[in-house]
Amino acid sequence: VTIERKLGVIRGTDFEIVDLPGVYSLSPYSVEEEISRKFLFEEDVDLILNIVDSTSMERSLYLTTQLLELGIPMIIALNMMDIADKRGIHIDLKTLEKRLDTTIVSISALKKTNVFNLIQYIKMGDYRKNYYHHVYDHELESAIESIKEITTSKHPQFLAVKLIEDDPVFAEYHTDSTKKIVDHLKQSYMRDMEQIIADERYRYIENIRDEAVSARNEQMTWTDRIDNVLLHRFFAIPIFMIVMFGIYYLAAGPVGAYTVGLVGKYVSLFSDWTRNLLEGFGASPWSVSLVVDGMIAGVGAILNFLPQLVILFLLISFLETTGYMSRIAFFLDRIFQKVGLSGKSLIPFIIGSGCSVPAIMSARTINDETERRMTIMLTPFIPCSAKLPIITLFAGYFFKENSGLVSASLYFFAIGVIFLSALIMKKFWFKGKHSSFILELPEYKIPNFKFIMYDVFEKVKAFIQQAGSIILLASIVVWFLISFSWTLTYGVDPEISILASFGKVLAWIFYPMLGTNSWGAAVSAIQGLVAKEQIIASMSIISG
């Protein structure tokens, strides 16, 4: 989990915006909450922009009350107001502003409603100082005030509450005086102080809700109706399998194959044009071959499959933005628990369909160490974007009539391998209890086309950047090794090239599958250890 900093200009004013991980509380039970709390407590922050879900005020305001205790100026962006209106939820902004004593702006991020006003508030810079309102009962408030008089922290209210909660992270801030105050509270309440603080906080929030929020009787929403089908105890898994099979069939099947042929045609035309251009300028044969047979052939072989990746990224991003994937993660938690994983593991697995590296990085957010290690070890089994061209190539070569069906089936085979491997790991290496999975299920929503295209663009850009760096360099190396002999003679028979001599040493590995003359496959496969895409590029160069 990382903290992303963005430097930018908002209508003539310079700002540094720090995007903290999304959290529900500053009492950390996850890596995200630890990072967010550490940053807010230790860094110099001018303003907190607190995004509050207007459809779920109670849950959202819990974090808000903790942020107010930091004493940092804050603007509350009351989001999803359009959905709240549809549900018949009315929020009295004046009352809410008065009770929380902070600036509140109602917005709809999806429809961009009131976002301009929010930016104007941020730009003004004259931020309203938050004054703490009494949240707890009299005895707790007295203890908090006593601790605040002793401590020298720049966030005395927040620190006082954390000391009372016995938060181990803040144990170093304890003094003999603060310990006496906390010990007296423990004797007085005879209960867990963290639970008492939480209860008092919720009581305060309920009072605010009763004053500022009114709602008509809840009716069954479209989300509820859709969930009744998509999350049905018997139909959910078959529907999910059909959806995923359809995605990979479209990407690797007839539609994907057609786009590959289309791009391949233009790559071939560009290759011929470049060859004619270089020869027209009188370039030497080896330099023409380097550019055309090395660079263009290697990178072009990968770019042939780019449309398939666009289809894959587009469809998966579509499912994620509708809210469907979050529900599947929640639904699959029960099944994943049987093999030692949890629903949290599904997120890295889905990201892994794009690239294994960010997928493994995302697995670090899993709290349970056992689940985290298992997820990291199993994620590479997911066929990523680098493996899709290889799967498509071999499926098309060996199963011409049913290449799309075979390609899609291989994804389900990979899932089977993951479950089997997880079961073995759980039984022999990773024993013990696993964590529970808590997840907010968002409303189903019509995907934002602009957001989807941006997401696809970022993934495609990353893929092309890799093709333009690692693949390009590797393609040049492969071209050189196959074009020259050990005496550095250009244009030799590939069988006596430098590359062939290396490949023949490794060919025995592939003897059971490809026989004696498999040095080209051996060399390509070994390069695949560095970058999976390079297998296609190398085979394209070797085969000419």
Cβ pair 544, 293 in contact under 8 A: yes
Other CB atoms within 10 Å distance of the CB of residue 96: 22
Sign of the four-CA dihedral 303, 305, 310, 312: negative
Other CB atoms within 10 Å distance of the CB of residue 163: 25
Say how far apart CA 195 and CA 300 lie, in whole Å.
61
Say how far apart CA 91 and CA 76 lie, in whole Å.
14
- Provide the CATH number for the domain formed by 4-124 in this structure: 3.40.50.300
Say how far apart CA 93 and CA 372 lie, in whole Å.
42
The pLDDT score that the predictor gives to residue 128 is: 66
Q: DSSP of 491-511, one letter per residue?
A: T--GGGSHHHHHHHHHGGGGH
Question: Would you give per-residue pLDDT tens digits along the chain (544 residues)?
Answer: 444 555 556 666 677 788 887 777 887 666 677 788 888 888 888 888 899 888 887 788 888 988 988 888 888 888 888 888 877 888 888 898 888 888 888 888 777 788 888 887 887 766 666 656 678 888 888 998 899 888 888 888 888 999 988 888 888 888 889 899 989 988 888 888 888 888 988 899 899 888 888 876 556 677 778 888 888 888 888 888 888 778 777 776 677 667 766 777 887 888 889 888 988 888 888 888 888 877 887 777 777 777 877 887 888 888 878 888 778 777 777 777 777 777 777 777 777 766 666 567 666 666 666 777 787 788 777 776 667 667 776 777 677 677 777 777 777 788 888 888 888 887 777 665 555 555 666 677 777 788 888 888 887 887 777 666 777 777 788 778 778 888 888 877 777 777 777 777 766 666 655 555 666 666 666 555 555 555 655 565 555 5
pTM of the complete model? 0.58
Identify the CA nearest to 526 among candidates 503, 492, 493, 497: 503
Question: Token pair of 152, please?
Answer: 């020298």
The pLDDT score that the predictor gives to residue 539 is: 60
Contacts of 65 (CB under 8 A, 6+ apart): 135, 201, 204, 205
User: Within the chain, which residue ranges are assigned CATH 1.10.287.1770?
Assistant: 138-215
What letter would DSSP give residue 256?
Answer: H
Say how far apart CA 247 and CA 489 lie, in whole Å.
48
Contacts of 246 (CB under 8 A, 6+ apart): none
Q: Does domain 138-215 correspond to CATH entry 1.10.287.1770?
A: yes
User: Within the chain, which residue ranges are assigned CATH 3.40.50.300?
Assistant: 4-124
